[in-house]
Amino acid sequence: MRIIFRLLQIALVAFPLLAMRQDKPLRVIFFGDSITQAGVGPKGYITMMTETLKSNNQSGQFELMGAGIGGNKVYDLYLRLEDDVLSKKPDVVFIYVGINDVWHKSSSGTGTDPDKYVKFYEALIKKMKAQNIRVILCTPTVIGEKNDNSNMQDGDLNQYSKLIRDIAAKHSLQVCDLRKYFQEYLSKNNPDNKEKEILTTDRVHLNETGNKFLAEKMMEALLKK
């Protein structure tokens, strides 16, 4: 009888706490570079996602937060992980980094070699998984919008995207394959093979159409069961 009484006591305490957890919105952090930094702007993808949730009466289910800083590479994310992500106790984190790791190789000689990219990326995952965070990996999008693989960094972007897919498979994590989605979109919607102004303003940073497209893909990934 004492055991049954004790179990009832635990249940009376635990069930209300569980209900409170379920009623609390899931905190979602988007962790990345300038694209994510702009994502919280008036026409940014994170803002668009928040508006979509409101219009669908789902705003009480999710709390979306941006943690993007322009110019960041994967090791920058590692250095600010504690302050900008873990301290905020997120339930879900999108890791969206890689464009600068590739781009800065040619623009300033400060990119990230593939082996170091993987090590820092897996170090991020390890720390997040230790806190039971749902981690969603995003492949990098574009540096140039030509649809025939003639952009200067297409080869590297494809390589780093494969690295992310491999990391996801190794750690049983979800992938939001933005590289694939953007390539498919551009193959259908860039008949003149333009270098920019389809989804981006400058070959990299997103215009309103690009932010809307990104928001749709991020939302699909977030709501995926």
What does the pLDDT look like over 154-170, one tens digit per residue? 999 999 999 999 999 99
| Across 81-86, average pLDDT | 98
| Across 81-89, average pLDDT | 98
What's the confidence (pLDDT) of residue 20? Answer: 39
Burial annotation 10-31 (CB, 10 A radius, 16+ → b, else e): eeeeeeeeeeeeeeeeebbbbb
| Across 80-95, average pLDDT | 98
* pLDDT over 80 (residue 17): no
**CA nearest 23: which of 56, 54, 63?**
63
User: Which tokens hold the place of 45?
Assistant: 């993808």
What's the confidence (pLDDT) of residue 59? Answer: 87
Please give the full DSSP string across 181-215, using - where no structure is assigned: HHHHHHHHH-TT--SSSSSBSSSSSB-HHHHHHHH
* pLDDT over 50 (residue 8): no
What's the confidence (pLDDT) of residue 149? Answer: 92
Dmax (CA) of the chain:
78
Strand, coil or helix: 165: helix
Listed in sequence order, the DSSP H helices in 56-142 are 74-84, 99-107, 114-129
Domains and CATH numbers, the chain: 25-223 (3.40.50.1110)
DSSP state of 109: S
| Across 189-201, average pLDDT | 98
What's the confidence (pLDDT) of residue 3? Answer: 40
* pLDDT over 50 (residue 4): no
Do you know the residue count of the chain? 225
* pLDDT over 60 (residue 19): no
Query: Cα(105)–Cα(117) distance, rounded to whole angstroms?
Result: 13
Q: What does the pLDDT look like over 213-224, one tens digit per residue? A: 999 999 999 999
Q: Which residue has the higher pLDDT, 82 or 4?
A: 82
Q: Write down the residue that tokens 């989605």 correspond to.
A: 181
Residue 149, phi-psi category: left (phi > 0), alpha (psi -120 to 50), beta (remainder): left
Q: What does the pLDDT look like over 31-65, one tens digit per residue? A: 999 999 999 999 999 999 999 999 999 989 999 99
Mean pLDDT of the chain: 91
Q: 27 forms bridges with which residues in the sheet?
A: 63
Of all residues in the chain, what percent carry a pLDDT higher than 90?
85
DSSP state of 91: S
Q: What does the pLDDT look like over 102-151, one tens digit per residue? A: 999 876 678 999 999 999 999 999 999 999 999 999 999 999 999 999 99
Asked which of 8-12, 37-41, 87-91, 160-164 is least confident by mean pLDDT, the reply is 8-12
Asked which of 4-8, 40-44, 48-52, 196-200 is least confident by mean pLDDT, the reply is 4-8
CB-CB neighbours of 50 under 10 Å: 18
